[in-house]
Structure 1
Amino acid sequence: MTVEDVKTSSVPSVEDLEREGDVAADFLEELLDIADIDGDLNLDVRQGRAYVSVEAESEGLSVLSAPDTVQALQELTRLAVQNKTGSFSRMILDIGGSRDTRRRQLEALVDAAVVKLDGGASQASLPSMSSYERKVVHDIASERGLVSESYGEGADRHTVITRR
Structure 2
Amino acid sequence: MRRALSSPSTSLFEQANVQPEELDAAIEDLVWAKASAILRFDHPLLRQVRAATGVNLVQVARRSRNLLIEIEQRSEIGPSWQYREHTPRRCTFSCRGQLPATIETALQGELLEQLVIPAAALQGITIANVAKSGDGWLNIDVAPSWHRF
Q: TM-score, normalised by structure 1?
A: 0.30
Rg (Cα) greater in structure: 1
Q: Higher strand share goes to which structure?
A: 2
Higher relative contact order (CA 8 A, sep 6+): 2
